[in-house]
Amino acid sequence: MSKEQTEQTSTEQMKVHDLLGIGIGPFDLGLAALAQPLPDVDAVFLDQRDGFSWHAGMLIEGTTLQVPFLADLVTMADPTSPYSFLAWLKATGRLYPFYIRESFYPLRAEYDQYCRWVAEQLPTLRWGRRVTSVVRVADLSAGAGGPSGEGDYLFEVTAETAHGVEKYCAKHLVLGTGTQPRLPAFLAALEEGPGGTAGPVVHTSDYLPRRAELAAAGSVTVVGSGQSAAEVYRDLLEGCGTGPGEHRVDWVTRSPRFFPMEYTKLTLEMTSPEYTDHYVSLPIEQRDVLGREQRNLYKGISGDLIDDIYDTLYRKSALGVEVPTTLLSDTEVVAARFEPAGTGPDGLDGAGEYVLTLRHAQLGTTAEHRTRAIVAATGYAAAVPAFLAPGLVDLDARGRYAVRRDYTVDDDGRIHVVNGEEHTHGVTAPDLGFGAWRNSVILANVTGREPYPIERRIAFQQFGLPDGGDGPGPSTTHPTDRQTDNEMEAAR
């Protein structure tokens, strides 16, 4: 680190930021882009990585986003922003090719490139900072004269870097640490065979770096459901065969069928402020049930990809050619073990293998399935970071963030959460197209104004019953009305 950089960092650590974000995924990156032109927001964002990267393990060639390009970092809040996807296309000379392509859906790899381009332009991003502690400290700017207007306290954030420890102070926090790959216990406990006699067990998040190793194992089983499972299966299917250098690939999913993501227009209205109001108003038990029932709204498979898989199977099986693959739906992996070379009935050419115990939900029967490598498309899970001081954020009875309608998790409305509220806000939480709306709400809370207009209603339909009807119905309180809510509570 140069002397100039050291002096800049030291000066920054002495100041009080209006907003500090922890984690720089697409949602916090979009927040940084929207905050950048605002004169009344001094923001800084920390991330432990060396630079921006978005699902690098799943940037399979030709795969696309499942949302249109308008669902970029900023457009739904500010269509004139210099950090839009169209601005990136123009800056890189690809606007006309994208126009001629006549598809609303960007390639996943170019979305990653676009985000990197935005990240390179923002001076508020600090990479290589691993946050280790977040605590409240006294706001010394309040002095003896009374409150400073921000509750008489600040948030002190400690971060480790390659050059030492840094401390930052801020009035508002945004927790954007995202989700982590989730592996079932029986898969996480599997050990690779001694001496490399079996292939790897990997989560889809690490698929591309291990793809050659997976294929070389000779047989691969994809376990899981959704778009990621389908993309990995389709990618491995291309090299599936019985000839030299080819492999077997199977797909096991507990989903009742290989269902497509529901993409009809009235269903898409569920990614709206009104439906989020309705969802938040429901009891926690009902929200948890709905969350499971609504998975096909955003965890289904692209219809085009389902058709492409079928067409590929048809093409490869033409003229009676055997395609060594099996697709099993409504089938759950309930146990797994590793068997060293020579212990299994098939032997698999003397190599070790994994043995999966499968259970069919409808039939109630079990069977064993043998494979040399496993790709787990078992999703991601949100968690409350360990660096938060006890009592700093509100949690529900199940240890999850107790997220309010305005995306805050504390009584004072100064700690915000992005993409950690699926259990409270439903399908809009992970939706790229709704991220800019949520960021507009956060910036309104931070500034006390609406830097970007916040839509109250966008849907033609109504969720719940009309006012005065039975049932919880949609909330009539807007996310930015926290001050009114607090005043009413104080008056009780």
What is the dihedral sign for C-alpha 305, 311, 314, 316?
negative
Contact 477, 485 (CB under 8 A): yes
C-alpha distances in Å from residue 115, one per residue of 55, 74, 337, 429, 466: 12, 11, 40, 19, 41
The pLDDT, as a whole number, for residue 294 is 86
**Residue 316, both tokens:** 């490869």
The pLDDT, as a whole number, for residue 19 is 98
**Residue 147, both tokens:** 């409150």
* 175 phi/psi in degrees, rounded to 5: -95, 105
**On the CB side of 405, how many CA atoms lie within 13 Å of its CA?**
20
Residue type, 81: S
* 180 phi/psi in degrees, rounded to 5: -115, 150
The pLDDT, as a whole number, for residue 292 is 86
The pLDDT, as a whole number, for residue 466 is 76
Q: Global pTM?
A: 0.89
The pLDDT, as a whole number, for residue 483 is 41
Cα–Cα distance, 273 to 482 (Å, whole number): 16
C-alpha distances in Å from residue 443, one per residue of 178, 188, 422, 490: 19, 40, 20, 24
Of 475, 252, 271, the C-alpha closest to 360 is 252
Cα–Cα distance, 279 to 291 (Å, whole number): 10
Contact 229, 204 (CB under 8 A): yes
* Cβ-proximal residues to 215 (8 Å cutoff; 6+ apart), any chain: 236, 239, 247
* 424 phi/psi in degrees, rounded to 5: -110, -30
The pLDDT, as a whole number, for residue 295 is 76
Cα–Cα distance, 261 to 301 (Å, whole number): 5
**On the CB side of 4, how many CA atoms lie within 13 Å of its CA?**
0
Cα–Cα distance, 289 to 154 (Å, whole number): 38
Cα–Cα distance, 254 to 362 (Å, whole number): 11
pLDDT of the chain, 492 residues: tens digit per residue: 444 444 445 555 568 999 999 999 999 999 999 999 999 999 999 999 999 999 999 999 999 999 999 999 999 999 999 999 999 999 999 999 999 999 999 999 999 999 999 999 999 999 999 999 999 999 987 554 434 455 689 999 999 999 999 999 999 999 999 899 999 988 988 855 544 556 899 999 999 999 999 999 999 999 999 999 999 999 999 999 988 889 999 999 999 999 999 889 999 999 999 999 999 999 999 999 999 888 777 778 999 999 999 999 999 999 888 899 999 999 999 999 998 875 555 544 556 899 999 999 999 999 999 999 999 999 999 899 999 999 999 999 999 999 999 999 999 999 999 999 999 999 999 999 999 999 999 999 999 999 999 999 999 999 988 764 444 333 444 565 544 343 333 333
3-state secondary structure the chain: CCHHHHHHHHHHHHCEEEEEEECCCHHHHHHHHHHCCCCCCCEEEECCCCCCCCCHHHCCCCCECCCCCCCCCCCCCCCCCCCCHHHHHHHCCCHHHHHHHCCCCCEHHHHHHHHHHHHHHCCCEECCCEEEEEEEEECHHHHHHCCCCCCCEEEEEEEEECCEEEEEEEEEEEECCCEEECCCHHHHCCCCCHHHCCCCEEEHHHHHHHHHHHHHCCEEEEEECHHHHHHHHHHHHCCECCCCCCEEEEEECCCCCCCECCCCHHHHCCCCHHHHHHHHHCCHHHHHHHHHHCHHHCCCECHHHHHHHHHHHHHHCHHHCCCCEEEECCEEEEEEEEECCCCCCCCHHHCCEEEEEEEECCCCCEEEEEECEEEEECCEEECCCCCECCCCCCECCCCCECCCCCCECCCCCCEEECCCCHHHHHHHCCCHHHHHHHHHHHHHHHHCCCCCCCCCCCCCCCCCCCCCCCCCCCCCCCCCCHHHHHHHHHHC
Of 202, 219, 197, 130, the C-alpha closest to 352 is 197
